[in-house]
Amino acid sequence: MVDPKNPSDLLEHALDTIGWDRNCSRRGFIKGAVGTIAGLATWHMWGSVGGASPLVIVENAESLIIGDPTRCVGCGRCELACTEFNDGKAAPSMARIQVTRNMHFGPSGALTGRPGGGAFGNGLSIPDTCKQCPHPVPCANACPQDAIQTHPETGARMVITEQCIGCRLCQRVCPWDMMSFDPDTERATKCFLCHGKPKCTEACPSGALKYIPWRDVTGSTLPRRSFTSFVAPEKLKSCLDCHAEP
């Protein structure tokens, strides 16, 4: 049981919620702890993902990629095209687009893909893509190094590799689990729309992927995982300046 009057209990619970690695350094632990508490304390100011944002301070992307499960054949060419172009290797597990088959292994068994679709799933292949979230951008808010920024030409949210420290906080806060991680470089990565010419859409043989003008799809797409708001301590003051309670 968590004692709400005990700061240690609250801290332990907050870190458990985001899956923080307790084996990190003491300095990293304290830094993460402060950010976690701060993020949890300020989350109510702007509501859940997909809700109304009081103020847009990060420009929206110009475009995004959407997937049509009714046309996806599950071939995985998009995943290969993504990593071969961006990383020079065939590594579907770290692709910025993820294709999963929507199947249930028994009425109450393991699930792959999306919830719903009947007791045994509907068998559709689900191409999941980055939503290029509007402000507040969960992954960018969580990054303590300000390594997730907007592409200067497309406005896509992208990882500045040189600034990433591999803490993986961005992965933990993305509701759609669309942040990737390169185990070789130990750096995060995400869809940045291939500088405006996404290779996954070019590689798709069935037309299941479309590159369209940006629109907010965060409110119409169910999250793939539970998530917790996290605002890096370095960004907390600027967030409070805009999201202050009336």
Tens-digit pLDDT profile for residues 99-132? 988 876 666 666 666 666 666 677 888 899 999 9
Given a cut of 70, is residue 7 above it in pLDDT?
no
Tens-digit pLDDT profile for residues 151-169? 999 999 999 999 999 999 9
Reported pTM: 0.69
Identify the residue whose tokens are 């509907």.
Answer: 122
Identify the residue whose tokens are 């291939």.
Answer: 194
First to last CA, the chain: 34
Dihedral sign for Cα atoms in the order 210, 161, 94, 59? negative
Q: d(Cα 206, Cα 69) in Å, to the nearest integer?
A: 11
